[in-house]
Structure 1
Amino acid sequence: MEVYVPLRRIGVILHVAKDGLMVARVNSSKADRLVGLVTMDYSMRRIGVIKDIIGPVNAPYALIKPIKGLNATDYVGKQAYVRDIDYDKVMRR
């Protein structure tokens, strides 16, 4: 039996920086609250953790630290998600 967990799309992964962090364009206007959330792909596989938000307020980017053993370049061009329940929790802060 599979459990359905709603996901919230946070943005698309654009590239991998030299230090290994993935850079994703964030869709949320309150992106600063996303720091610390676990990111996933559409199949609910963990990708990494949002470590920082950079760029202008109206067009922010998230720096995602990939989990160990993950080939980050495989996720370039793909959407990144967070669990809906986690997203709602941080947006209520």
Structure 2
Amino acid sequence: MRRAGTVVEVAQGVLVCRMADEDVDLGAMILDDSLTEVGRVVDVFGPVTEPFAAISPSDDVHPPRLVGEHVYVR
């Protein structure tokens, strides 16, 4: 498991994450600090040197609570 990045906002029900690792695949599972699944990567966008990822949240996740939190990829 490695750090994927930091959630910076929620837009239209999707988590927007500034990625710390440029090598994250579409469909990758994203976890929080307690290793609970937050969602899956549905898009990677922005500049190559500082990409963002759109994460579709899991059904039991309250997206606003994750803003400012670090997330991880398995």
Please, what TM-score do these two structures have when normalized by structure 1? 0.75
Which consecutive unaligned segments of at least 5 residues does structure 2 have?
none
Residues matched between the structures, number: 74
**Structure with the bigger percentage of strand:** 2
* Structure exhibiting the larger radius of gyration computed from Cα positions: 1
Deviations 1:11-43 (A, max 9, x none): 0000000x2000000112334xx2111100011
Instruction: Decide whether aligned partners of structure 1 residues 11 and 51 sit closer, same or farther in structure 2, where only a CA change above 3 A counts.
Output: same
RMSD in angstroms over aligned alpha carbons? 1.0
Offset of residue 70 of structure 1: 1.4
Offset of residue 69 of structure 1: 2.8
> 2:15 is matched with which residue?
22
Q: Is 1:73 the equivalent of 2:67? A: no
**Structure with the bigger percentage of helix:** 1
| Aligned mates of 1:48, 1:42 — CA distance in 2 | 13
| Aligned mates of 2:22, 2:55 — CA distance in 1 | 18
Query: Where has structure 1 moved over 2 Å in runs of 4 or more?
Result: none
Q: Which has the higher contact order (CA 8 A, sep 6+)?
A: 2
